């Protein structure tokens, strides 16, 4: 989805130019030893990573540290192919097949059991690798997975939406946080990289995360699955010495993985603040999202996605502020009744 700003939208930035590994380091003079001549052949036969483990991307290191979980997440829930999953792990397909055998992870083709409306929904960290959008990809380069969670639809078939909680946080200081590369944040302008932080998984199926920015601003999110819905909360702590105002956020519900809901059109979308909703093209089924302190509801067909974007209250130094919301599902004809429930937020 596109960031909404008063200034003209800037073009998507290219990713950082990567310097050759070891650039600038002193290199020994070529050896005349015969084995030196075999090095190109050895590299071709055994192409393992050129960098040390600590130099792998942070998301790859986090995946490898909990590989059995992420393989199950990707292959058995998000139904990644091995070709999709391998880059997330920093491995070749052959290496990934070896890891599956060692860890005894068996990809399943059986359909996922629907939760219905009697059991808590399935909510999982989004593994990354597969882009969560269909279109407008240049508006979300290098998306971080740590703010993104998949909520599986109660009707089964493995369909899911990806919630970016949050996608962005604006303030009187500028753009504090963006969960991908597009419009420069205040940190991009200073040459400071904000690394990914994965969700913490809890035994009750809930997810939480906490981040701290270089200026001392801390923020985090929580998702709690319930029957037919997910309760959501975002919070922000002002660790600076000045008042933070204009704390607009963007919460993006991406529909790519939900068949029947993912047409790139404005059709079957309902915007009735604080609720944004989308109807299936195939049945009287709805996906709805709402937040308190909602500043705007909108949708973006190219992605496609729907938004209920809350605004944090102003936060003085040391103050913590929060907003609450819901993502829920409905089947039936009384959509007007469901829209009225949009103001019923978790306490």
Q: Is the dihedral of CA 108, 114, 120, 125 positive or negative?
A: positive
Residue 18 lies in a domain: no
**Same domain, residue pair 52 and 187:** no
- How many Å apart are CA 176 and CA 240, to the nearest integer? 13
Per-residue model confidence (pLDDT) at position 54: 53
* Range list of H helices, the chain: 34-37, 39-45, 58-65, 67-72, 82-89, 93-103, 335-340
Residue 266 lies in a domain: yes
Identify the bridge partners of residue 222 per DSSP, sorted by sequence position: 208, 233
For 93, 199, 234, 256, 261, the CA distances from 164, given in Å and listed in that order, are 29, 12, 11, 13, 17
Domain boundary among 93, 110, 127: 110
Domain boundary among 95, 110, 125: 110
Per-residue model confidence (pLDDT) at position 120: 97
- How many Å apart are CA 244 and CA 254, to the nearest integer? 29
Residue 77 lies in a domain: yes
Burial label, 244 (beta-carbon count in 10 A; 0-12, 13-18, 19+): buried
Residue 197 lies in a domain: yes
**Same domain, residue pair 83 and 118:** no
Residue 179 lies in a domain: yes
Mapped onto helix, strand or coil, the DSSP state of residue 95 is helix
**Same domain, residue pair 38 and 159:** no
Q: Which residues are CB-contacts of 244 (< 8 A; sequence separation ≥ 6)?
A: 171, 172, 173, 217, 236, 238, 314, 315
**Same domain, residue pair 219 and 320:** yes
Total number of domains in the chain: 2
**Same domain, residue pair 269 and 181:** yes
- How many Å apart are CA 86 and CA 70, to the nearest integer? 11
User: Strand 148-152 relative to strand 160-171: parallel, antiparallel, unpaired?
Assistant: antiparallel
> Comparing C-alpha atoms, which of 309, 59, 16 is closest to residue 167?
309
Residue 290 lies in a domain: yes
- The answer to whether residues 122 and 225 touch, using CB atoms and an 8 Å cutoff, is yes
- The answer to whether residues 159 and 257 touch, using CB atoms and an 8 Å cutoff, is yes
- How many Å apart are CA 309 and CA 275, to the nearest integer? 10
Q: Which residues are CB-contacts of 247 (< 8 A; sequence separation ≥ 6)?
A: 169, 170, 171, 236, 311, 312, 313, 314, 315, 321
- The answer to whether residues 64 and 96 touch, using CB atoms and an 8 Å cutoff, is no
- How many Å apart are CA 223 and CA 205, to the nearest integer? 9
Q: Which two tokens stand for residue 53?
A: 């483990």
- How many Å apart are CA 254 and CA 258, to the nearest integer? 9
**Same domain, residue pair 159 and 83:** no
**Same domain, residue pair 229 and 193:** yes
Structural domain that includes position 319 = 111-343
**Same domain, residue pair 131 and 200:** yes
Residue 28 lies in a domain: no
Per-residue model confidence (pLDDT) at position 157: 84
pLDDT averaged over consecutive 10-residue blocks of the chain (347 residues)? 42 33 34 40 35 73 97 96 96 96 90 91 97 94 96 94 98 97 94 96 97 98 97 98 98 97 96 96 95 97 98 98 97 91 73
> Comparing C-alpha atoms, which of 57, 211, 64 is closest to residue 147?
211
Q: What is the CATH number of the domain that holds 201?
A: 2.70.98
Per-residue model confidence (pLDDT) at position 108: 86
**Same domain, residue pair 257 and 152:** yes
**Same domain, residue pair 286 and 171:** yes
- How many Å apart are CA 280 and CA 65, to the nearest integer? 38
- How many Å apart are CA 138 and CA 125, to the nearest integer? 23
Per-residue model confidence (pLDDT) at position 82: 96
**Same domain, residue pair 199 and 299:** yes
The 3-state secondary structure of 193-220 reads: CCCCCCCEECCCCCEEEEEECCCCCEEE
Per-residue model confidence (pLDDT) at position 328: 97
**Same domain, residue pair 181 and 195:** yes
Residue 247 lies in a domain: yes
Helix (H) or strand (E) holding 345: none
Domain boundary among 110, 129, 149: 110
């Amino acid at each position: 989805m596109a960031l909404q700003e008063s200034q003209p939208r800037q073009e998507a930035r290219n990713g950082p130019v990567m310097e050759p590994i070891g650039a600038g380091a002193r290199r020994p003079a070529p050896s005349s030893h015969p084995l030196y001549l075999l090095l190109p052949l050895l590299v071709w036969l055994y192409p393992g990573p050129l960098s040390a483990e600590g130099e792998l991307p942070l998301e790859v290191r986090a995946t490898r540290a909990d590989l059995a979980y992420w393989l199950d997440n990707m292959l058995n829930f998000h139904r990644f192919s091995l070709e999709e999953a391998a880059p997330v792990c920093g491995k070749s397909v052959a290496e990934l097949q070896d890891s599956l055998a060692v860890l005894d992870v068996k990809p399943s083709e059986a359909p996922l059991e629907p939760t219905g409306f009697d059991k808590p929904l399935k909510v999982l960290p989004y593994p990354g690798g597969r882009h969560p959008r269909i279109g407008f990809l240049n508006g979300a380069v290098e998306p971080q997975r740590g703010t993104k969670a998949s909520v599986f639809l109660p009707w089964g078939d493995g369909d899911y939406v990806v919630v970016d909680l949050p996608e962005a946080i604006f303030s009187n200081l500028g753009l504090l946080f963006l969960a991908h590369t597009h419009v420069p944040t205040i940190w991009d302008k200073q040459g400071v990289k904000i690394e990914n932080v994965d969700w913490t998984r809890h035994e009750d199926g809930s997810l939480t995360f906490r981040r701290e920015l270089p200026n001392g601003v801390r923020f985090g999110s929580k998702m709690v699955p319930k029957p037919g819905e997910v309760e959501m909360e975002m919070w922000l702590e002002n660790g600076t010495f000045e008042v933070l105002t204009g704390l607009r956020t963007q919460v993006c519900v991406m529909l790519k993985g939900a068949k029947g809901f993912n047409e790139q059109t404005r059709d079957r979308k309902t915007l009735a603040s604080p609720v944004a909703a989308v109807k299936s093209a195939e049945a009287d089924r709805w996906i709805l999202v709402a937040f308190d302190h909602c500043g705007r509801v909108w949708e973006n067909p190219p992605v496609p996605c729907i938004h209920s974007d809350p605004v944090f209250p102003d936060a003085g130094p040391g103050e913590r502020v929060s907003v609450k919301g819901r993502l829920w599902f409905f089947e039936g004809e009384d959509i007007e009744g469901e829209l009225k429930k949009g103001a019923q937020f978790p306490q």
